Chains A and B, each alone.
Chain A
Amino acid sequence: MKSFLAKRLGLSVLTVGLAAIIVFFMTHILPGDVARQSLGRQATEEDVIAFNKLYGLDKPLLTQLFNWIKDLLSGNLGVSMSTSRPVSETLIPALGYSARLAGVAFVLIVPLSIAGGIIAAMNRGKKVDRAVTVGGLSAAVIPEFVWAVILLLVFGVVIRIFPISAMPDDGNGGFLQSIWHLLLPSIALLLVLFGYIARITRAGVIEALDSDYMRTAVLKGYSRRKAVTKHVLRNAMLPTIAVVASQIPYLIGGLVAVEMVFNYRGFGTVLLAAVGGRDYAVLQSGVILTSTVIVSFQLIADILFAVLNPRIRQRISE
């Protein structure tokens, strides 16, 4: 188990490292000049040279890459080129906001989708089943930013149940207050992911329900309900975990669009602004943070998968 963890951890670090290199070169391919963008049209040639020298942009690319990675490893995310303040000052609070939104969305999406899948499977072929599968699929074909706009218009503008901004007015507000504000954007994400996760869960539960071991459980004397909780769910959850983990990158991507619509000062908004302003430092570090988050969740899913599945666990321990 230890060597498995070490291997997986090493692989995760490698993934993030590769992402860092790719991101570095990608940002430098972006058209436009950072100095000009930051300093404005009036800037003289000397100003530009001074700016480039200040941020090390005059050095060869590989040196820049090396310096950046060196800084990253020491926990220094760099200095924003547009605000001249440490990147962490912008990114870390934004990350906190986004994590809060993602957290609310996750807590909403995962249990609801799994419950939907289980209910559909238990009522196979009945109306509930069809409602979940067809409804879920129909909702998923509409992109999250469209849902966001629709939800905003209907429940924020016309009916006015929910606030139109995901940010409480005073910027922070109480815990419940901020969750209340995050509900509508989370629902937009839920609508897109529900169908997918519910369908996978449904398939897993049906497979387990039809299995020989489920039959054994019933013939041992379990009631159907008890047999489901004792024998079906654990086996049915395996494919679901893999799917949920694979949807994390999507969830984060979805956040970017939804944050824009709900005017939320999260990670996505900051990154988008950084792209517009050619703020290499913010962009690069932002992407690295994102990939770290994604890779961590994948790692957690892998471990969870192994814990639940004795076959995998055995292969690991051998």
Chain B
Amino acid sequence: MSTPTLELRNLEVAYTVRGIDREVLRNISLSIQPGEAYGLVGESGCGKSTAAYAAMRYLPRNGKITGGSILFEGRDMVTMSDAEVSTLRNSVISMVYQNPVAALNPTIRVGDQVAEVFELSGKSKSEANKLALEALVKVKIADPEKVMRRYAHQLSGGMAQRVVIAMALASNPRLLVMDEPTTGLDATVEAEVLDLVRELRRETGTAVLFISHNLGVIRHMCDRVGVLYAGALVEQGTTADILSNPQHPYTVGLLRCIPRGGLHKNTDRLETIPGSPPSLGLHFDGCVFASRCTLADDRCRTEKPEMVEVGASHIARCFHHDQAPGMARNIEGASQGLSIRTKQTTQSGDLLQIEKLSKIFNQDGHKVQVVNDVALHVAPGETLGLVGESGSGKTTIAKMILGLTAAEPSSVISINGKKLARTLNKRDVADVGALQIVFQNPDQALNRRHSVTRIVSRAVERLAGLNKSESDNRAHELLSGMRVDASLHNARPAQLSGGLKQRVAISRAFAGSPNLVVCDEPTSALDVSVQATILNLLVDLQKQDDTSYLFISHDLGVVRYISDRIAVLYLGRVMELGNAETVFNGPHHPYTEALVSSVPAIDGSQRKRIRLEGDVPSPANPPTGCVLNPRCPRMAGSGVEGLCTTVEPELKEVEPGHFMRCHIPLDQLRATQQK
């Protein structure tokens, strides 16, 4: 084998927190060959970003390398001078970041920022500008001359990431480090960016260190994978091997947590990993995973396991790797008979009914219709999934239902047949309690100054009309029912982990025995193992009390698992509505088809990508005819192009319970999609 492009050899990194060194990377050894793509996976706090930045020899202010070496083509970067490292960064190693808009300087034109890379390597200003333009052309950005003159805030996330990639590839690097490059991007944009990276890699043969928490993306992008847990590399092998034949208990558990096609809340409970990830820099005598591992014995707790060969170029750091694939499933039982509902809904039929829901925002004198004539209904105990990319109007719809944003006067929102006022302050307490929300980010949704009990009991007091001591008791009951340990009831939110915070937020939402809870990306900020426990909890609560959910998520796997029916939104319109499995299995609306096909599958069974050309049009100036027509992957050759470009289709029932807003006949869609 030739000299690896990058080799981490027994790398140890520590962060100094309040004067104490905390180990963040523990004895990491890995190597990446020229042209190879190596993926690092793991949950938050496992050290994957630290490893990525360490490959650039860039650590936070309180970070330091406490041992080992970082070899770039055999030269140790740890002992290099700052100037030498700068030269490497400018010429042969580059990085692509998670948040591309923030990675660009807000006050310097994008073109100048790309040109800087060339200027740094000694090119003249005009030559650098010319090369910057070429670099932007290479990443297939639309209208590169114009983009050159823009500022970061004028770019969409996908465009900004293309710019960052252009900047990274400008110097023809031999190593490209990508830290969660598509996290936060919409599914179709993510797919495009990933395609671009693959294509550019084919041309240049750059070695890649790819960091992601998304195993599907890793499967799609990487030749080999390393799994990090608590700063230690616990398993490494070819991507296919690791994802289909994991040998370390952590990897096995991690893969089992993920809601994947075929699993549904009605039939399957998600597996979880018991316990929670260790806090940063904890010291371990034995295996880092022992405290959460169902296979752990005394030896695991006292002796550090070495990497052992478990297959062809497949290693795992476990004494019991042979038992890992067959280890017992960890399916926690349902919550212990906690009944939230004190009032029983007896009537059948729809719980929530929405008709003609619209929202027009006034933007600098222009009328922008972000939600257009949406009609939806949710039955008691049902979960309606809302799916769509940014700007599709899903959050606005949720806000209008809750009364946080006033819907247009013609809109009708009714619950149990009773029409609700358009704004929250005009609704009575019962209506407010009936509709509750769980937010994406519990950090921002919970009052930091209040104890956990206080947060929940305030809601009980307000919504259930109980007095102080009664409501405190009820709060304890609720929290315990959500498996928030009694010892934590007096804690402040800051002392809790993300998963626990979300449990508190769910307790708060259920304080007033809601009929319907809007879940706005409730698990997006959580790790997959925590996500599974939260999803299980939501399913339990629903089964006990017949609570309905309006579930918003960009993660199609999660939506598919938890939803009974799914509405697919595009530019503020419902494009498709139907049972979860129908929507996913097809025949799909062409937009849904593109959306579903853009998600990289963990098992590698990639379906053919259906591309959407161009960007989402501005809602201020929607296309005439079907709003999808400029980007529609199925319009060409459908025989109804004339209709598509002139008349907006109605949302019509194409088969029982399956609605679509498309001019192309269902049978024709079925036929083309099966090809």
On whether the beta carbons of B364 and A318 are closer than 8 Å, the reply is yes
On whether the beta carbons of A216 and B120 are closer than 8 Å, the reply is no
Q: Could you tell me which residues of chain A, from 204 to 251, have a CB within 8 Å of some CB in chain B?
A: 211-213, 215-224, 230-231, 234-235
CA separation between A212 and B364, bound complex, in Å? 31
Q: Could you tell me which residues of chain A, from 177 to 207, have a CB within 8 Å of some CB in chain B?
A: none
CA separation between A308 and B151, bound complex, in Å? 12
On whether the beta carbons of A215 and B99 are closer than 8 Å, the reply is no
Q: Mark A290-318, 1 if CB is under 8 A from B, else 0.
A: 00000000000000000011110010001
Contacts of A224 in B (CB 8 A): 82
Q: Which of A213, A219, A309 is in CB contact (< 8 Å) with B95?
A: A219
Q: Which of B58, B86, B95, B103 is in CB contact (< 8 Å) with A222?
A: B86
Q: Could you tell me which residues of chain B, from 61 to 86, have a CB within 8 Å of some CB in chain A?
A: 82-83, 86
Of B104-112, B210-218, B411-419, the segment with at least 4 beta carbons within 8 Å of chain A is B104-112
Contacts of B108 in A (CB 8 A): 231, 234
CA separation between A213 and B154, bound complex, in Å? 16
| A313 and chain B: residue at smallest CB distance | B151
| A311 and chain B: residue at smallest CB distance | B153
Query: Chain A interface: which size bin?
Result: 20 to 34
On whether the beta carbons of B89 and A212 are closer than 8 Å, the reply is no
Q: Is the interface of A mostly helix, strand, loop or mixed?
A: helix
Taking the nearest CB of chain B, how far is it from the CB of A55, in angstroms? 51
B117 close to chain A: CB less than 8 A: yes
CA separation between A233 and B136, bound complex, in Å? 27
| A308 and chain B: residue at smallest CB distance | B107
CA separation between A253 and B99, bound complex, in Å? 46
Contacts of A231 in B (CB 8 A): 105, 108
CA separation between A211 and B107, bound complex, in Å? 13
Contacts of B167 in A (CB 8 A): 216, 220
| A234 and chain B: residue at smallest CB distance | B107
Contacts of B105 in A (CB 8 A): 213, 216-217, 231, 235
On whether the beta carbons of A218 and B151 are closer than 8 Å, the reply is no
With A310-B106, A311-B151 in contact, do A215 and B86 touch (Cβ < 8 Å)?
A: no
CA separation between A311 and B95, bound complex, in Å? 27
Contacts of B106 in A (CB 8 A): 213, 235, 310-311
With A311-B151, A318-B364 in contact, do A218 and B107 touch (Cβ < 8 Å)?
A: no
Specify which of A219, A224, A235, A309 lies most central, judged by the most chain B CB atoms within 10 Å of its CB: A219
Specify which of A218, A221, A222 lies most central, judged by the most chain B CB atoms within 10 Å of its CB: A221
Contacts of A223 in B (CB 8 A): 82-83, 86
Specify which of A217, A220, A223 lies most central, judged by the most chain B CB atoms within 10 Å of its CB: A220
| B94 and chain A: residue at smallest CB distance | A219
Taking the nearest CB of chain B, how far is it from the CB of A219, in angstroms? 5
Q: Which of B90, B107, B153 is in CB contact (< 8 Å) with A235?
A: B107
Taking the nearest CB of chain A, how far is it from the CB of B506, in angstroms? 32
CA separation between A152 and B106, bound complex, in Å? 46
On whether the beta carbons of B89 and A211 are closer than 8 Å, the reply is no
CA separation between A235 and B151, bound complex, in Å? 13
On whether the beta carbons of A221 and B58 are closer than 8 Å, the reply is no
* Chain B interface residue count, Cβ-Cβ cutoff 8 angstroms: 32
B56 close to chain A: CB less than 8 A: yes
Q: Could you tell me which residues of chain A, from 115 to 173, have a CB within 8 Å of some CB in chain B?
A: none
Contacts of B58 in A (CB 8 A): 215, 218-219
On whether the beta carbons of B107 and A310 are closer than 8 Å, the reply is yes
Taking the nearest CB of chain A, how far is it from the CB of B102, in angstroms? 4
Contacts of B152 in A (CB 8 A): 213
On whether the beta carbons of A220 and B97 are closer than 8 Å, the reply is no
Taking the nearest CB of chain A, how far is it from the CB of B437, in angstroms? 30
With A219-B56, A221-B91, A221-B120 in contact, do A212 and B99 touch (Cβ < 8 Å)?
A: yes
CA separation between A231 and B116, bound complex, in Å? 11
CA separation between A219 and B96, bound complex, in Å? 10
With A216-B97, A310-B151, A314-B154 in contact, do A221 and B86 touch (Cβ < 8 Å)?
A: yes
Q: Could you tell me which residues of chain B, from 163 to 222, have a CB within 8 Å of some CB in chain A?
A: 164, 167
CA separation between A223 and B88, bound complex, in Å? 12
Specify which of B106, B107, B164 lies most central, judged by the most chain A CB atoms within 10 Å of its CB: B107
Contacts of B83 in A (CB 8 A): 223
On whether the beta carbons of B120 and A211 are closer than 8 Å, the reply is no
Taking the nearest CB of chain A, how far is it from the CB of B97, in angstroms? 7
On whether the beta carbons of A220 and B120 are closer than 8 Å, the reply is yes
On whether the beta carbons of A222 and B151 are closer than 8 Å, the reply is no
Q: Which of B89, B97, B164 is in CB contact (< 8 Å) with A221?
A: B89
Contacts of B154 in A (CB 8 A): 314
B87 close to chain A: CB less than 8 A: yes
Taking the nearest CB of chain A, how far is it from the CB of B297, in angstroms? 44
Q: Which of A216, A230, A234, A309 is in CB contact (< 8 Å) with B103?
A: A216
Q: What are 9 contact pairs spanning A and B, CB under 8 A?
A: A213-B103, A213-B152, A216-B164, A218-B58, A220-B90, A231-B108, A235-B105, A235-B106, A318-B364
Q: Which 4 A-B pairs have the closest CB atoms?
A: A221-B90, A212-B102, A213-B105, A221-B89
Known contacts A213-B106, A216-B167, A235-B106; can you find 16 more A-B pairs with CB under 8 A?
A: A211-B102, A212-B102, A213-B152, A215-B58, A216-B105, A218-B89, A220-B90, A220-B167, A221-B87, A222-B120, A223-B83, A231-B105, A234-B108, A235-B107, A310-B106, A311-B151
